[in-house]
Structure 1
Amino acid sequence: MRRLRFAPMTIQGICEDRFGAVRETLATLLEGDDVGAAAAVYVDGEPVVDLWGGYADAARTVAWERDSITNVWSITKTMTALCALILADRGDLDLDAPVAEYWPEFAAAGKGGVLVRHLLSHTAGLPTWDEPMATEDLYDWEIATSRLAAQAPRWEPGTRAGYHAVTQGYLVGEVVRRVTGRSLGRFFAEEVAGPLGADFHIGLPAEHDHRVVPIIPPPAAPSPEADDPRNRPGNPPVPPAIANTLAWRRAEIPAANGHGNARSIGAVQSVLAGGGTARGVRLLSPEGCERVFEEQFRGTDQILGVPMRYGIGYGLNGGWLPNPRSCFWGGWGGSLVVVDLDARMTVSCVMNRMADPASDAGQRAFLLVMAAYEGLTA
């Protein structure tokens, strides 16, 4: 297999010839408004595209390097969901059991009927906190989880969906902690990232700070008081620049503060695309992977205000992807991961310049995904 290599400060990395459209698309994006970005494609668990380019800073003076990592926002949710799927596959976690079976305090305020699968599908009725939260409260696991355990759901669980932008990570993470005795970040590091050799972190150790590419907020970044749909109703406020603080990096926020790059996202999610195995490491059975496609909700998400299909921990293909057994999730500002079990392919992309949600937030990633599908038929 011939692999292409590219000159410094343009596009660097490896790319099979048939996936040349991915390289060309990434180059076009970086010639436009993007500052720095990376893209990866895995097929049958092996990397066939691993590209990066551009700059790590808004002034365009520092190169985006091979091992640069950045905050990928809600793509972190796919890592958290994978942890839950692994535990379910092992028989340690029943997705159809009441959450209170593992977390007794959670039964308060009428939540005895909330099931684990409701947490994974944004249907639990806990899209944000009722009690006022300071941003700093996100760094205190006990505060964040105990307040969720005490409050009542906003709708009958399982009957509606409303994007749990930040709360989902604490909800699923606390269940994982009760089942395993380990935090979500530690479980992920020991049971997922470690065996796969994936450079992805939920709670970033200080030793990696020098590799972090700062987030570049959109020009019209929402103010802390803005009614941003990703954090409606803004409790607590999560301004984009918070991702560049040490407090945010060190905390475990399993819905939003994962740090990695396209390569590491693909390395992890290729397990799901490959029926539970990637590069000789098995983390799930084929049957365990199929649980993703157990549809939990189809309709309009009342927080995002757009049509959604939710499975177990992932968004399900609503017709924009070629193959039916495909799932995905995106990160605030434009990053995306697509997992196609029919094609046994994973496509991931990350960037440091956050897009304006009203303009091209999803278009950049969509172009890269479609370019990857071109490679499958080349």
Structure 2
Amino acid sequence: MVVSTRDSGRWPTSSPVTFTERGEIGAAFAVYQDGRKVVDLWGGYRNGNRRTPWAEDTIVTVYSSTKGVAGLLIARARDRGQIDYDRPVADYWPEFAANGKSAITIRQLLAHQAGLSALARPITLAELRDPILLDALLADAVPLWTPGSRHGYHAATIGFYEDALLRRVDPRHRSLGTVLTEDVRPQGAEFYIGVRGDVDRERIATVHGFDNAELAGHIDEMPAAFVAALNDPTTLTGRTFTTNQAAAGVEAVNQPEVLALELPSGNGTGQVRSIAALYSDALNGGPLLGLPPARSTSSPPPPWIPPRDAATSCCTSTPGTRSDSGSPSPLSASVATMAVPSAVPARAAHSRSPTPRPESASPTRRTVPASASGTTRASWLCATRCSIPSSVKLASGPRPDAGRVSAAEMARHAVT
């Protein structure tokens, strides 16, 4: 979601993914460049059943995009001298050393190299509600591979480990969600890890996931080996993605009791522009996080090399094979985009006719400087009718047809 555009000076062309073709119901899109908001768009519905328009203050659950915000708070703690990435986690959390984890560093944990992507058993709802119980389960975990030898996506557990660490180094022992509410929200960025009781639930977009029939129609869009492993609870991939069964299922985030939980890996809820603002703040330095401007180098990262064995590498890969192992490229723009499905009848997914929209729900037009540049790249691995364009182009042109509007088109036609 944060990329460089200094070299190209323009936006790459994208293939539009429309509401009508892919079933998106509502969407928001925001871009900051050099610390200044240059795109702020929203449109469609936040509730497809009731045809409730997506409003300027609509907030939405962003699933694994929550991990980025949680990571920024860990970076904030490091900047304040509360942690050192190269020190063992056990220096701050002694119980973590159990079962051969004494040497795992914070850097290895944050890089998904600790071998803790799955636990001995799924986390219960009682443990999700009680940090003491959850911390005991996390501390007792046994690494699934030699820490530091491989990467393995810690789909659910990374956020819990980050939260447990932050509570031990924060002067007031606050959680990630509490820090967001008490320190970041007052500065103007509305994003929650655990939606508080004073938030108007009518502002929250309702999410609709695929039913089994719809999933079957899209089964070939994911690698066959991954699909097989995901549905086999005896595999590492299957165990990794079923660790948090208490809040499992895409539509679980529509339940107030799930939204209220602090799940730093997956139930962050907020305004899309706030996500972009937080990344911009981290890059340029600002009041939201209090971080200094990010440093960058002119060396581009190495290209990503896909795993050789998809059957065994769905969740793990050897360090050094992904672009995050190289030097970062120059950072200049922060982009947040979300095409979010609202709760609509399942048959709507297969309809090719334009979805009717009230005039007030049409994409809101904003003026964008012609010099604005940047791209967004994001991966989305969950069974929802959610689509994030792989890239977005800004260019002048006629307004999009009312029955065929995508997030990419919303951005492209925002230029005056």
TM-score interval, normalised by the smaller of the two chains? 0.7 to 0.9
1:30 aligns with 2:19: yes
1:207 to 198, 208, 211: 198
In structure 2, distance between residues paired with 1:211 and 1:362? 19
1:366 aligns with 2:374: no
How far residue 309 of structure 1 moved from its aligned partner, in angstroms, is 7.6
One-letter code of the match for 1:286?
A: P
1:179 aligns with 2:177: no
How far residue 212 of structure 1 moved from its aligned partner, in angstroms, is 0.8
The root-mean-square deviation of aligned C-alpha atoms, in Å, is 4.2
How far residue 120 of structure 1 moved from its aligned partner, in angstroms, is 0.9
One-letter code of the match for 1:214?
A: T
Matches within 5 A, 1:1-378: 29-32=18-21, 33-59=23-49, 61-135=51-125, 137-180=127-170, 181-195=173-187, 197-208=188-199, 209-220=201-212, 226-227=231-232, 232-237=240-245, 238-274=248-284, 277-278=285-286, 283-286=290-293, 300=307, 304-305=314-315, 325=328, 341-342=330-331, 344-353=332-341, 364-368=388-392
Instruction: Identify if the C-alpha distance between structure 1 residues 203 and 163 changes in structure 2 by more than 3 Å, giving closer, same or farther.
Output: same
Q: Mind listing any 5+ residue stretches in structure 2 that lack a counterpart? A: 1-8, 217-229, 343-348, 350-379, 395-407
1:330 matched residue in structure 2: none
One-letter code of the match for 2:290?
A: L
The answer to whether the 8 Å contact 2:152/2:317 transfers is no
Deviation digits for residues 56-101 of structure 1 (CA, Å, limit 9, x no counterpart): 1233611111111111111111111111111112221101110000
One-letter code of the match for 1:368?
A: V
In structure 1, distance between residues paired with 2:88 and 2:325? 29
Paired residue total: 328
In structure 2, distance between residues paired with 1:281 and 1:361? 32
The answer to whether the 8 Å contact 2:46/2:205 transfers is yes
How far residue 157 of structure 1 moved from its aligned partner, in angstroms, is 0.8
1:106 is paired with a residue whose SS is: helix
1:4 matched residue in structure 2: none
1:114 is paired with a residue whose SS is: coil
Instruction: Identify if the C-alpha distance between structure 1 residues 203 and 103 changes in structure 2 by more than 3 Å, giving closer, same or farther.
Output: same
In structure 1, distance between residues paired with 2:58 and 2:150? 39
The sequence identity of aligned pairs, in percent, is 30
How far residue 135 of structure 1 moved from its aligned partner, in angstroms, is 4.7
Q: Determine which structure has the larger helix proportion and give its number.
A: 1
Q: Mind listing any 5+ residue stretches in structure 1 that lack a counterpart? A: 1-17, 327-340
The answer to whether the 8 Å contact 1:76/1:255 transfers is yes
Instruction: Identify if the C-alpha distance between structure 1 residues 201 and 316 changes in structure 2 by more than 3 Å, giving closer, same or farther.
Output: farther
1:286 is paired with a residue whose SS is: coil
Instruction: Identify if the C-alpha distance between structure 1 residues 243 and 122 changes in structure 2 by more than 3 Å, giving closer, same or farther.
Output: same
Instruction: Identify if the C-alpha distance between structure 1 residues 194 and 308 changes in structure 2 by more than 3 Å, giving closer, same or farther.
Output: farther
The answer to whether the 8 Å contact 1:97/1:115 transfers is yes
The answer to whether the 8 Å contact 1:266/1:347 transfers is yes
How far residue 299 of structure 1 moved from its aligned partner, in angstroms, is 6.8
2:53 is paired with a residue whose SS is: coil
Higher RCO (CA-CA < 8 Å; seq separation 6+)? 2
How far residue 245 of structure 1 moved from its aligned partner, in angstroms, is 1.0
In structure 2, distance between residues paired with 1:359 and 1:104? 38
Q: Greater CA radius of gyration, 1 or 2? A: 2
1:143 is paired with a residue whose SS is: helix
One-letter code of the match for 2:389?
A: A
One-letter code of the match for 1:364?
A: I
One-letter code of the match for 2:183?
A: E
How far residue 169 of structure 1 moved from its aligned partner, in angstroms, is 0.6
2:46 is paired with a residue whose SS is: coil
The answer to whether the 8 Å contact 1:19/1:49 transfers is no
1:164 is paired with a residue whose SS is: coil
The answer to whether the 8 Å contact 2:338/2:387 transfers is no
